[in-house]
């Protein structure tokens, strides 16, 4: 893909044709709901909104400017929600146009929802993308994965192979990783679960679109079927990842032909597997009861393996250089998986496991692949009838505490974006999108408009209401990112990248070619639109999934006026492999783990396969 210089984008933004002292969502606004733009240098002045015939439809006096530290800039947040007629508008200051075209439409957010979900089709492994569905981005099949190998440290028979096809490529590379796949798949499942009526009829134009299953579920199933292949049939544990030993070069998928290996078997991957398969088994039951049962049983078998291997964390072998997704504490994954499995089984053994680690204040963290307690809170708080024997109030407190913190950050915030300086690290755009998910859960619980409006403000940020005047979603916006770190988009010979990808975004700690663009005084500007910058411009399934949830849920809520029913019924599953009693796990230590007295306390010492010793407290927290 030819390089489109980021500086050129900025220079275009400063020319009269693209002049913009008003920063706003460049894709557009729904007819209903909050509509805002951030204007620099207009405090106390009249902002005039004109329609396509240049007739004035609204005049708003710009409020006092307020400082947003990530931009190191004062701006006035101008609200034009009063305009609810579909059309194209321009904001003026005096005789000068200060905005891009402002699109207002009933379907405007549906476009980006579809695009962000369709991108998962473009990420499919083991499948040819045909012109009928992929258009100019059609490509041969890559990575059939019908004869994947086992890494030698797994202790399997030499040269043994297994079939592990399908699934989504994780990011800009061609690896498939259970841990990151877990939260991504789960987020999309929740998007459907919370907005079923809307997604039942939404077409994504994918090969399965003509069947009787919602398209979003057909797309998710492509990854679920791969996840099932990653469970070891011998014991129920789940392999951590399927990759080549080193990252490929910048080539198309069919040109990456080196052997691929199942690498590692970890408790974090297994807990992820349990959580996702448990939720999926309930969602898919009306459409394919056999597939539903297969997932539920697999989740049950994996649950006990993970519980009996609490210290079997992933260790990157010395001959492997692909992504690690290492995590030395699996307690939050255990809480999440237990909540999902209990939701569909009401099994006392699972309940007992879940109660071991309550959702106290130490768990009040934004969700991400490494921190999943909030995912458990989402399930518990939105299913109060199921979790009568659990502390539902703590789950609600986690969500509302986080959401209220985000609301507080909007005070005297001229951009109206619930993000702070500390959010601008690797994948900052997904940080914003995940904050939006928390805010939407708070809205589901309380119906308070401030939460919905704050979530909308984050979506507006991602689509243009930011100090770089950029839409961070490929293919959408007047000034859109153009050079993502994404092998197919770099190697396909097509100028424009595949549409619908959310790039990582500003990163104050970028350590690649974007390093020279770090702005410590305005961290929201620390970004470089160049494929060489994986630290600011890579794409990933765990970034697109929360964006899809954010855009899709806002559109569904605003267009229907409805939210998820907190008292919807959940059918009880009978799952093979879960005992009815309460097993004692105190004696079930992993191999290579022993209790010792060290530094004044009882600790667990684990000797890794490479001979290194790692220490944990009795709750599984890794110690220095």
Rounded alpha-carbon distances, angstroms, from residue 93 to 52, 66, 75: 16, 19, 14
Q: Please indicate whether residue 82 is annotated as part of the active site.
A: no
| CA of residue 378 relative to chain centroid, distance | 15
First CA to last CA distance, the chain: 45
What radius of gyration, in Å, describes the C-alpha atoms of the chain? Answer: 24
Cα-based angle 449, 453, 454 (whole degrees, multiple of 5): 120
Rounded to the nearest 10 degrees, the angle between the axes of helix 541-560 and helix 449-462 is 130
**Six token digits for residue 486:** 């994404």
For 57, list phi and psi in degrees, rounded to 5. Answer: -115, -20
What's the token pair of residue 434?
């995940």
Catalytic residue among 441, 485, 486, 555: 485
Please tell me which residue in 194, 219, 529, 555 is annotated as part of the active site.
529
State yes or no: is 240 an active-site residue: no
E-strand ranges in 51-187 read 56-61, 66-68, 73-79, 87-93, 96-97, 102-104, 148-150, 161-162, 176-177
The residues, any chain, with a CB within 8 Å of residue 91's CB and separated by 6 or more, are 22, 37, 39, 47, 48, 49, 78, 80, 97, 98, 99, 102
Catalytic residue among 145, 315, 423, 538: 538
Query: Token pair 């959401």 is at which residue?
Result: 403
180 vs 227: CA distance, rounded Å: 11
- Which tokens hold the place of 427? 């994948």
Residue 529 known to be catalytic: yes
Q: Which of 173, 256, 297, 492 is an active site residue?
A: 173
Residue 620 to residues 264, 481, 601: CA-CA distances in angstroms? 19, 42, 14
- DSSP string across 317-382: -TT--S-----S--HHHHHHHHHHHHHHH--HHHHHHHHTS---GGG----BTTB-HHHHHHHHHT
29, 82, 191, 464 from 106: Cα distances, Å = 8, 15, 20, 19
Contact 111, 554 (CB under 8 A): no
Question: Would strands 161-162 and 46-50 be described as parallel, antiparallel, or unpaired?
Answer: unpaired
Active-site residue numbers?
173, 485, 529, 538
């Amino acid at each position: 893909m030819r390089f489109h210089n980021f500086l050129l984008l900025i220079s275009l933004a400063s020319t009269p044709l693209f002049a913009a002292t008003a920063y706003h969502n460049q894709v557009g606004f729904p007819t209903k709901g909050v509509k805002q733009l951030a204007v620099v240098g207009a405090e106390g002045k009249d902002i005039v909104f004109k329609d396509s015939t240049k007739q004035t439809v609204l005049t708003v006096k710009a409020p006092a400017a307020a400082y947003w530290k990530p931009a190191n800039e004062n701006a006035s947040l101008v609200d034009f929600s009063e305009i609810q007629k579909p059309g194209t508008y321009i904001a003026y200051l005096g005789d000068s146009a200060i905005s891009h075209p402002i699109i207002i439409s009933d379907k405007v957010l549906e476009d980006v929802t579809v695009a962000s979900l369709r991108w998962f089709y473009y990420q499919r492994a083991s499948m040819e993308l045909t012109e009928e569905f992929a258009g100019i981005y059609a490509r041969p099949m890559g990575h059939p994965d019908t004869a994947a190998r086992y890494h030698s440290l797994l202790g399997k028979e030499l040269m043994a192979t297994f079939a592990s096809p399908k699934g989504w490529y994780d990011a800009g590379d061609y690896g498939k990783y259970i841990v990151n796949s877990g939260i991504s798949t789960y987020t999309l499942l929740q998007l459907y679960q919370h907005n079923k009526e809307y997604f039942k009829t939404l077409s994504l134009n994918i090969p399965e679109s003509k069947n009787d299953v919602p398209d979003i579920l057909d797309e998710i199933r492509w990854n679920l079927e791969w996840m099932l292949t990653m469970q070891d049939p011998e014991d129920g544990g789940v392999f951590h990842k399927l990759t080549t030993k080193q990252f490929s070069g910048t080539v198309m998928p069919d040109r990456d032909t080196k052997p691929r290996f199942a690498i590692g078997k970890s408790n974090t991957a297994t807990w992820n597997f349990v959580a996702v398969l448990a939720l999926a088994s309930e969602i898919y039951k009306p459409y394919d009861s056999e597939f539903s049962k297969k997932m539920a049983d697999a989740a049950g078998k994996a649950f006990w393996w993970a519980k009996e291997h609490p210290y079997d964390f992933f260790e990157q072998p010395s001959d492997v250089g692909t992504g690690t997704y290492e995590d030395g504490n699996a307690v939050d994954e255990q809480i999440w998986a237990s909540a999902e499995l209990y939701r569909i089984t009401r099994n006392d053994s699972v309940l007992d496991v879940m109660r071991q680690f309550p959702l106290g204040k130490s768990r009040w963290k934004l969700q991400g692949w490494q921190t999943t307690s909030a995912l458990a809170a989402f399930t518990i708080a939105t299913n109060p009838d199921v979790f009568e024997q659990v502390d539902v109030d703590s789950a609600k407190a986690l969500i509302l505490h986080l959401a209220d913190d985000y609301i507080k950050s909007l005070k005297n915030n001229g951009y109206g974006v619930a993000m702070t300086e500390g959010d601008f690290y690797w994948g900052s755009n997904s940080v914003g999108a995940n904050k939006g998910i928390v805010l939407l859960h708070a809205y589901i619980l309380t119906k308070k408009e401030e939460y919905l409006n704050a979530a909308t403000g984050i979506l507006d940020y991602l689509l243009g209401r930011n100090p770089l005047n950029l839409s961070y979603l490929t293919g959408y916006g007047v000034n859109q990112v153009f050079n993502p770190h994404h092998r197919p988009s770099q190697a396909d010979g097509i100028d424009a990248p595949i549409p619908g990808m959310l790039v990582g975004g500003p990163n104050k700690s970028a350590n690649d070619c974007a390093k020279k663009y770090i702005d410590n005084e305005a961290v929201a500007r620390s970004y470089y639109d160049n494929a060489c910058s994986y630290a600011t411009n890579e794409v990933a399934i765990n970034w697109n999934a929360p964006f899809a949830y954010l855009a899709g849920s806002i559109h569904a809520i605003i267009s229907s006026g409805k939210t998820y029913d907190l008292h919807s019924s959940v059918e009880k599953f009978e799952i093979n492999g879960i005992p009815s009693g309460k097993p004692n796990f105190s004696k079930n230590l992993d191999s290579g783990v022993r209790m010792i007295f060290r530094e004044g306390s009882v600790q667990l010492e684990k000797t890794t396969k490479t001979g290194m010793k790692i220490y944990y407290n009795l709750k599984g927290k890794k110690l220095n």
